[in-house]
Chain A
Amino acid sequence: MEKLTRRSFLGVAGAAALTLAACDGGTPADGGDQPDDGAEGDGAEAAAKVIMVTDTGGVNDQSFNELSWAGMQQLGTDLGWDVSYLESKQDADYMTNLDKAVDAGAQLIWGVGFAMGAAVNEAALANPDVQFAIIDSTNDNGAPNLTGVTFKQEECSFAVGYVAARMTTSGKVGFVGGIDSEIMQSFEQGYYAGIEYANKEQGLSVTYQGQWAESFGDAAKGKAIAQSQIADGCDVLYHAAGGTGTGMIEACAEAGVWAIGVDQDQSHLAPETVITSALKRVDQAIYQISPQLIDGSLAGGSNIVLGAAEDAVGIAPTHDLLPDEVYQGALAVIDKIKAGEITVPKNADELATYKAGL
């Protein structure tokens, strides 16, 4: 399977020109494609060509890129689309790969990851005939052919906060953040709100603390912050800190306390330690949004925020370490968010209001 995808990648990268020629068939190449054609029918000619460009993690990064590619492959199987990917080895490759994807005649190009935001914005301005979309970043200059897709991370954080509050025995839980920003705070505040919700629902009095590492790549610092929180009595820790969080999970495993993963199911990092993970369903985002962009029902030029209502955030399916009632409770919480019964706060002010209203 892995071998196969790599081979198909080589096919794309190595023979991009051939692919282009084969795809365009009879139509004389005049630069852009015809994005509207997709709506016409199910015929072979209507198969949309979609290319995703990975960030430096590569397509098997066990994170966003891998999951994005899963969504792309699903498009390939279910709709018979021509899907492929280009891997970026370094930041400088983003622009080149986006250009390559344009040259290969893609109707829709996905950029994966916050790091590619600037490059995709630039590429969208330079290629107005091609639809672009970016995962985890936004359309910053109002280009009419670029869709920014972000996630309501406060909603999945809320669900894992609920789990944390119900799993702690010490009554203290912790949070390790990457670099403090508005987006990152939505993880933190959503998590706290979930704890408050569980406190109310279960009659608990769980307290929480959080700290920013001011880095996404400093595992030692993540470990240090976690050790400090564990020494302070916390026995469930959640992170939204990328590589810094690796250190947090390690500290939890060493100390024998629970950890909660982020973005993807991280239980493989420490199967005895990671009780659940806050999920962003990047694959769902790609699978749902691509057809709308191709058939024109979604015009592009907008920023889309996907949440529990779209099944785009949730908690990891792995729940071996959770008592059934806690897992079911968390699923029920997600259902309530879906139904609009809970509006999850995403900053400190909203959290205060939310707390007062509980």
Chain B
Amino acid sequence: MRAPFFLLVVVVLGLTSCMDEERLITPVDLYAQRGVFVVNEGNYQYGNASLSFYNSDTREVTNNIFLSANGIPLGDVAQSMAIRQGKIYVVINNSGVVRVLNSNTLALEKSIEGLTSPRHILFENDERAYVSDLYARGIHIVNPSTGKKTGFIQAGTKSMPFHQHPTENLVRIGDRLYTNCWSYDRKVLVIDPMAEKVVDSIEVGLQPLWMIADREGKLWTITDGGFVGNPAGNEKPKLMRINPASNSMEKEFIFDDINAQVGHITLSATGDSILFISNDIYKMSVDATSLPTEPFIPKKRRTYRAIAVDPRTYEVYVTDATDFINSGYLFRFTPNGDVIDSVKVGVTPAGISFF
């Protein structure tokens, strides 16, 4: 009785095995579908960055669509994406890579590797694109066709404090490339992309988080003002308009609340207003002389993260990061700010792209 018990324990437990999980692939076909991609950051070192696709006709959402199509995770901390000529480029920050996907099947075609901490991508042409970077103190030049790095635009040096200058959004106006320096910085850099060098810089508020151009070719940036204990400082967040002709600040709007949680800015479909996140969502004419007092869309219990306007329908799409560790939400509003739909997406939805 005792010996069989002993042997049973040894043999049964000893032979228990198979911790390896099977890889599942569900083919994706987005041909002729219209909708919205949501880039979900995920959590640092969890590898749970993901893509969600919301079909704006059927109102159905498919989460983890990259994982379904390829059977592997997208990466660690997705930052942004761009769609160009049948390809989707997803910039994965902590993986140091840009994933290049077929835009219909989402099959992974190549990876632009060897980047330090990439943030956004902007295309010059088929053979030349710029990738901003949080820690590289510059902007990578890559060849999207080959997936190789071909150059580098130096933005800062090792003698500069923090990681200055970190580079973020990339905006092309005329023959100049502009980038906001968010992390522990307060600059917008002006770059001659052909000469591959920084030619000027503009002092803005502390930590310019996001930057866009309006229909007049003016730059708008919003600063988050740092935080308590930030060695670079802590100040009230600001919204600013920059004239690229003179590389100077034209307008500066300071938020009352130093702890206001600001987010992205986007241009309205008609181009005469901007929409921005500062706890709530506000809509403001590009010619306004003061900040709006009434929100366009109230915060409620949401944590707004990204905002974008559908150029076809003028509908407003906003992401809610909820608690940053569980599923976030994609909200769809009418052009007047009334809710049409909301769907659950991935963790920390931080980017919206129309497809």
Query: A and B from one assembly?
Result: no
B interface residues (Cβ-Cβ under 8 A, vs A): none
